[in-house]
Amino acid sequence: MKFRSTRNVTAQATTAPEAIIQGLAEDGGLFVPVAFPQPNYDLASLIQQPYQLIAKQVLRWFFNELSGLDVAVTKAYGSQWDTPTITPLTKQVAGNYYLELFHGPTLAFKDVALQALPQLMGLAKQQVHNQNETIILTATSGDTGTAALRGFQNVVGTQVVVFYPQDGISPIQKLQMLGQTGNNLHVVGIKGNFDQAQTRVKQIFNDPQVRQHLAQQKQQFSSANSMNIGRLIPQITYYFAAYGQLVHQGAIKVGDKITFSVPTGNFGDILAGYYAKKLGLPIHKLICASNVNHVLTDFFQTGTYDRQREFQVTNAPSMDILVSSNLERLLFDAYHQDAEAINKLMQQLQSQGYYQVTPQVHEWLSQTFAAGYANPDQVEAEIQRVYEQANYLIDPHTAVGSFVTHQYQTQTNDHHPCVILATASPYKFPETVLGAINSQAKNPSGLAAIEALAKFDSSSLTAGVKELFADQPHSQLTIAPTEMTNTVLNLV
Active site amino acids: 110
Q: Of 80, 75, 28, 82, which Cα lies nearest the Cα of 56?
A: 75
Angle at the Cα of 242 (from 263 to 149), degrees rounded to 5? Answer: 55
Q: How far is CA 317 from the centre of its chain?
A: 13
Give dist(CA 256, CA 451) in Å, integer. Answer: 42
CB environment 110-136: b (16+ within 10 A), e (fewer): bbbbbbbbbbbbbbbbebeebebbbbb
Give dist(CA 303, CA 358) in Å, integer. Answer: 8
Cβ neighbours of residue 274 under 8 Å, at least 6 residues apart? 286, 330, 368
Percent of the chain that is helix, strand, coil (3-state, to 5): 45, 15, 35
**Residue 231 · residue 272 · CB < 8 Å:** no
Angle at the Cα of 21 (from 197 to 151), degrees rounded to 5? Answer: 65
The terminus-to-terminus CA distance of the chain in angstroms comes to 33
**What Cα–Cα distance (Å) separates residue 1 from each residue in 57, 62, 67, 182?**
14, 6, 13, 34
Q: Of 47, 51, 59, which Cα lies nearest the Cα of 81?
A: 51
Identity of residue 58 = V
Give dist(CA 153, CA 184) in Å, integer. Answer: 7
Give dist(CA 164, CA 174) in Å, integer. Answer: 9
Q: How far is CA 466 from the centre of its chain?
A: 24
Beta bridge partners of 165: 190
Decide the pairing of beta strands 2-5 and 14-15: antiparallel
Instruction: Specify whether the backbone of 4 is left (phi greater than 0), alpha (psi in -120 to 50) or beta.
Output: beta
Decide the pairing of beta strands 354-356 and 304-306: antiparallel
In this structure, the chain runs to a length of 492
Give dist(CA 59, CA 391) in Å, integer. Answer: 37
Identity of residue 389 = Q
